[in-house]
């Protein structure tokens, strides 16, 4: 038996086994290259384990390589993904935590990545490109349920305050008053029916009266319209008469102005001459009264009248006194 052949076969078989393990560990394809991406989750990642699948539109494109808490913010979880280089990871790609079926096994689903979006690149101080994350369905449901529970608790508190013993007593008193009112209305149903019938008759009579007034008001309105038209016509005629009177006054005014400018100076001179003539006539009348013969024999020296000689003598004496 050739032990050298046996040993060589064992070594070859071991090398093949190691190569198969490495091939399976690398994803099943020799030479496939992967890139590392970072994603930060702000929710619990319970059920997500290392080597959990990373899917893009439902297709396995990588695995979860590392899970760790953020040292700066413990409420956040940092995840590292090893994703095939051929996967179109772009700036608008989003990572969402999902669960598979009823088993609760979690995985990461990538979504988005429009064709015209630029490739996702690393931004300092991060070492790897960071994929944006959004809350999972369970996280959104938990937030909604928490909000609903808070509102229910607030509503329950308000309802308890609304149904306090004092309000219950007030409700009981109100219900008793309503029952009493209902009983009273039931007892007086006949009188209420009669009142309703009377009101209906009153409405009918009012409608008939209104119709009659409308019929009677027709001729009256026609006469009022005729009177209004006559008043309007009279107003128009009055306005025309006022306009004519205004023009007449304007013409008379212009005539008066012309008369004042032309005839007034001559009239003033005539009045002055008549004043002089009146003065002359007055003096002539006085002379005629004192000496009527003067009209026939002319004017001589007129003798002094009674008292005039005494007044003249007195005036001379005053003049002679030193």
Domain layout of the chain by residue ranges: 33-134, 142-172, 173-245
Q: Please give the mean pLDDT across all residues of the chain.
A: 77
The pTM is what? 0.42
pLDDT, tens only, 95-107: 999 887 666 678 9
Does the structure show a pLDDT above 60 at 71? yes
pLDDT, tens only, 21-47: 776 665 554 446 889 999 999 888 888
Compute the distance between CA of residue 86 and CA of residue 90 in angstroms, rounded to an integer.
12
- Of the given ranges (114-118, 143-147, 180-184, 283-287), which has the lowest mean pLDDT? 283-287
């Amino acid at each position: 038996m050739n032990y050298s052949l046996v040993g060589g076969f064992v070594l070859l078989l071991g090398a093949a086994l190691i190569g198969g393990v490495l091939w399976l560990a690398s994803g099943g394809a020799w030479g496939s290259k992967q890139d590392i991406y970072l994603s930060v989750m702000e929710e619990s990642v319970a059920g997500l384990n290392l080597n959990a699948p990373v899917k893009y539109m439902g297709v396995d494109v990588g695995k979860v390589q590392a899970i760790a808490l953020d040292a700066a913010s413990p409420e956040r979880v940092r995840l590292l993904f090893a994703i095939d280089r051929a996967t179109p990871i772009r700036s608008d790609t989003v990572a969402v935590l999902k669960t598979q079926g009823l088993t609760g096994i979690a995985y990461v689903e990538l979504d988005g990545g429009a064709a015209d979006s630029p490739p996702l690149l690393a931004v300092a101080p991060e070492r790897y490109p960071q994929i944006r994350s959004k809350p999972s369905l369970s996280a959104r449901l938990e937030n909604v349920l928490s909000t609903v529970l808070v509102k229910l608790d607030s509503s329950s508190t308000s309802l308890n305050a609304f149904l306090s013993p004092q309000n219950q007593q007030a409700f009981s008193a109100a219900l008793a008053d309503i029952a009493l009112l209902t009983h009273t209305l039931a007892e007086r149903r006949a009188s209420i029916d009669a009142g309703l019938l009377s009101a209906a008759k009153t409405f009918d009579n009012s409608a008939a009266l209104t119709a009659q007034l409308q019929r009677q008001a027709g001729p009256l309105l026609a006469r009022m319209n005729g009177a209004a038209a006559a008043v309007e016509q009279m107003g128009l005629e009055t306005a025309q008469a006022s306009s004519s009177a205004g023009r007449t006054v304007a013409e008379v005014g212009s005539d008066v102005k012309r008369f004042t400018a032309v005839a007034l100076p001559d009239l003033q001179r005539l009045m002055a001459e008549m004043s002089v003539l009146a003065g002359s006539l007055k003096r002539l009348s006085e002379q005629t009264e004192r000496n009527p013969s003067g009209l026939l024999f002319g004017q001589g020296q007129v003798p002094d009248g009674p008292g005039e000689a005494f007044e003249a003598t007195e005036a001379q004496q005053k003049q002679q006194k030193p």
